[in-house]
Amino acid sequence: MAAAAVAPGSLSGAQPGTASGHGDRHPPLTGIKLLIAAIAIGFGNFLVVLDTTIANVSVPNIAGSLGVSASQGTWVITSYAVAEAITVPLTGWLTRRFGAQKVFIACYLAFGILSLLCGLAMSMGMLIAGRVLLGLAGGPLMPLSQMLLLRIFPPEKATLASVIWAMTTVIAPVAGPILGGIISDGAGWPWIFYIKVPIAFACGLTAWWLLRGQPDPKAHASIDVVGLGLLIVWVGAFQIMIDEGRNKDWFASTEIVVLGIVSLVGFLAFLFWELTEKNPIVNLRIFRHRGFTAAAITYSAGFGAFFASLVIFPLWLQQNMGYTATWAGYATGIMGVLSIGCAPLVGKAVEKIDARMIIFTGLAGLGLLNAWRTLFTGDATFWQIAGPTFLSGAFMVMFFVPVTGLAMASVDPDEAADAAGLSNFMRTLAGAFATALVQTGWSNAGREKQTALADSMTGGQQVLDGMIANGTPPDVAVSSLSFLVERESVMLATLEMFGVVAIVFAFSAMLIWLAPKPKGPIDTSGGH
């Protein structure tokens, strides 16, 4: 969500409206055609962002159906995010080589086909493979959707184009948990993928039809093959390491040790190569801008904490509190009420108030709300649980709306595309890594709490004797007591993770003050 924005034309290496000289050009879109094209393009971004959260509440259903644990089921989330992050840096090269419209339409239709294949998966391996391919197809759709919206609208209506794109970015992650829960409970988890197929095809073909003949400039393009290869190696090795580490006793496992060495060596080689390569796939030189560095790191840390909470919250509700996927989706998606209403207000506030203060307030507010969650008890009602989530919508917008604009305002105009890609790459990776790390922390904390509770139960035998004396079969009595201990240990582990998330939010809120004060109002669309 809140993907990094891209200045129009910056990915394609040419200014929008510049013809490449191939065939007859149609006049600019106007009226109803312009509106339909905007909706079709906007849905591309909506579907990709939706896919980052629609599976969150469905993980228990998917895991149970495919015969794996819930922790293994989170690979459905992380595999998509990592693949998406890897393909984002390729967007500029693809656009220059083939044209933004062609790449966008191809990825749009591929997204529909691959969503169908994900729904048809008969094993976790097949589903993860489908999700990786889905992430590869979805990555370019986010920056290209905004670029095309800004291209088809006349300059005087650029703000409207940015609003359309921003609303799809805000609404999609909120709609994801709600739709995922309702669909999983009502029709089965494959339908969280099937539902996107007709939308992708209808909107993709509509966009193709309306954009035919519109300027789609191309330019000479070269690709940093070595940099891309090193990127895939170190990111893939690191993600597998943190996903599988908790299942293999971490560095007591040779496999985890090898993955750790590969990821470290690959990362160092990647840094050296990208800093010395003339046309790097990820332009690390942009980190010389203090404002960009502070904003991008704040964005990554804050988003990682936010996404981690979005992962464990619905899992905890279903595994520990007895919620269905539908009600877990309602409890998660309720944040959308305030986020949608507050987005325009925050956009106006950024024009008058220091963006750093707004970002700080958003992150601090999210931290306080997660600290509030540490006070939950096992008998908390729906509204007691949903209250912090509801309020988080306002603070979420205060974080997401200005942070990308602040990052982009800190770089030179000719670096906009590289900065947007790098910021989006860091954000997406942070979400994937945070998902694996919070799962590991949650699992470890649960085991520790369970052991501590069992050791502290000096009267456990008396409880069992009492249950048996009242007619409960011995094996049932033992199972019941074990269930109570396990339930309480998961509850305590969850509260501990909310506390950790709160600390990360607080840390992120302080990081933003490392950025220099903006010289004037920032462009919340992320462009210049």
> Distance between CA 47 and CA 378 in Å, rounded?
35
Which of the four pLDDT bands, split at 50, 70 and 90, describes residue 459? Answer: low
Does residue 249 sit within a domain? no
What is the per-residue pLDDT across 188-245, written as a single tens digit (0 to 9) for each?
889 989 999 999 999 999 989 988 877 777 777 677 888 888 888 888 888 788 777 7
Domain count for the chain: 2
> Distance between CA 187 and CA 291 in Å, rounded?
47
189 and 303 belong to one structural domain? no
Q: Which of 12, 3, 208 is nearest to 108 (CA)?
A: 208
Which residue did the predictor score with more confidence, 441 or 419? Answer: 441
Does residue 196 sit within a domain? yes
The half-sphere exposure of 191 on its side-chain side, counting CA atoms within 13 A, is: 10
- Single-letter amino acid code for the residue at 202: A
Which of the four pLDDT bands, split at 50, 70 and 90, describes residue 471? Answer: low
| 33-47, 117-131, 474-488: segment of lowest average pLDDT | 474-488
210 and 296 belong to one structural domain? no
Domain ends where: 177, 199, 223?
Answer: 223
Does residue 70 sit within a domain? yes
> Distance between CA 339 and CA 417 in Å, rounded?
27
Which residue did the predictor score with more confidence, 465 or 104? Answer: 104
Domain ends where: 223, 250, 273?
Answer: 223
- Single-letter amino acid code for the residue at 379: D
303 and 435 belong to one structural domain? yes
> Distance between CA 452 and CA 193 in Å, rounded?
41
295 and 210 belong to one structural domain? no
| 6-10, 247-251, 386-390: segment of lowest average pLDDT | 6-10
In this prediction, residue 371 carries a pLDDT of 94
Q: Return the residue matching tokens 């579907």.
A: 47
Please list the alpha-helical segments (H only) found in 253-324: 254-276, 290-319
**Quick check: 396 pLDDT over 90?**
no
In this prediction, residue 417 carries a pLDDT of 66
Mean pLDDT of 362-387: 90
| Contact assessment for residue 55 and residue 170, using Cβ atoms and an 8 Å cutoff | no
- DSSP assignment of 52-92: TTTTGGGHHHHHHHHT--HHHHTHHHHHHHHHHHHHGGGHH
> Distance between CA 311 and CA 439 in Å, rounded?
8
288 and 219 belong to one structural domain? no
In this prediction, residue 108 carries a pLDDT of 93
Find the domain containing 378 and state its range: 282-454+483-528
In this prediction, residue 326 carries a pLDDT of 83
Measured CA to CA in angstroms, residue 392 lies from 144, 145, 339, 381 at distances of 29, 27, 8, 18
**Quick check: 383 pLDDT over 70?**
yes
Cβ atoms < 10 Å from Cβ of 225: 9
Q: What is the Cα gyration radius of the chain?
A: 24
- DSSP assignment of 147-203: HHHHHHS-GGGHHHHHHHHHHHHHHHHHHHHHHHHHHHHHT-TTHHHHTHHHHHHHH
In this prediction, residue 116 carries a pLDDT of 93
| 160-169, 267-276, 484-493, 518-527: segment of lowest average pLDDT | 518-527
**Quick check: 12 pLDDT over 50?**
no
Domain ends where: 173, 203, 223?
Answer: 223
Which of the four pLDDT bands, split at 50, 70 and 90, describes residue 98? Answer: confident
- Give phi and psi for 3, each to the nearest 5: -60, 155
**Quick check: 8 pLDDT over 50?**
no
- Mean pLDDT, the chain, rounded, equals 80
499 and 398 belong to one structural domain? yes
Mean pLDDT of 312-327: 83
**What are the structure tokens assigned to 122, written together?**
């008969």
In this prediction, residue 33 carries a pLDDT of 83
In this prediction, residue 112 carries a pLDDT of 93
In this prediction, residue 526 carries a pLDDT of 46
Q: How many helices (H) and strands (E) does the chain have?
A: 21, 0
**Quick check: 74 pLDDT over 80?**
no
Q: How many residues does the chain have?
A: 528
Does residue 276 sit within a domain? no
- Single-letter amino acid code for the residue at 360: F
In this prediction, residue 522 carries a pLDDT of 62
Cα–chain-centroid distance for residue 332?
15
* Most confident stretch, 34-48, 83-97, 141-155: 34-48
Mean pLDDT of 30-54: 84
**Quick check: 527 pLDDT over 70?**
no
In this prediction, residue 186 carries a pLDDT of 82
| Contact assessment for residue 287 and residue 293, using Cβ atoms and an 8 Å cutoff | yes
154 and 56 belong to one structural domain? yes
**What are the structure tokens assigned to 251, written together?**
């560095």
What CATH number did the domain enclosing 155 receive?
A: 1.20.1250.20
Percent of the chain at pLDDT exceeding 90? 16
104 and 177 belong to one structural domain? yes
Which of the four pLDDT bands, split at 50, 70 and 90, describes residue 187? Answer: confident
Mean pLDDT of 494-498: 91
Sequence-separated (6 or more) residues with CB below 8 Å from residue 318: 57, 60, 324, 325, 328
Does residue 466 sit within a domain? no
198 and 347 belong to one structural domain? no
Q: Which of 293, 265, 319 is nearest to 443 (CA)?
A: 319
- Single-letter amino acid code for the residue at 271: L
Does residue 463 sit within a domain? no
Which of the four pLDDT bands, split at 50, 70 and 90, describes residue 504? Answer: very high
> Distance between CA 133 and CA 113 in Å, rounded?
10
297 and 186 belong to one structural domain? no
204 and 341 belong to one structural domain? no
Which of the four pLDDT bands, split at 50, 70 and 90, describes residue 524? Answer: low
Which of the four pLDDT bands, split at 50, 70 and 90, describes residue 2? Answer: very low
In this prediction, residue 23 carries a pLDDT of 43
> Distance between CA 170 and CA 43 in Å, rounded?
12
217 and 290 belong to one structural domain? no
In this prediction, residue 13 carries a pLDDT of 41
Coil, helix or strand at residue 239: helix
Does residue 468 sit within a domain? no
In this prediction, residue 261 carries a pLDDT of 92
**Quick check: 468 pLDDT over 90?**
no
SS3 per-residue string spanning 389-406: HHHHHHHHHHHHHHHHHH
> Distance between CA 316 and CA 368 in Å, rounded?
20
In this prediction, residue 370 carries a pLDDT of 93
In this prediction, residue 501 carries a pLDDT of 94
**Quick check: 289 pLDDT over 50?**
yes
Long-range contacts of 62-70 (CB under 8 A, 24+ apart): 62/127, 62/189, 65/188, 65/189, 66/121, 66/123, 66/124, 66/127, 67/124, 68/124, 70/315, 70/319
> Distance between CA 312 and CA 501 in Å, rounded?
11
Does residue 515 sit within a domain? yes
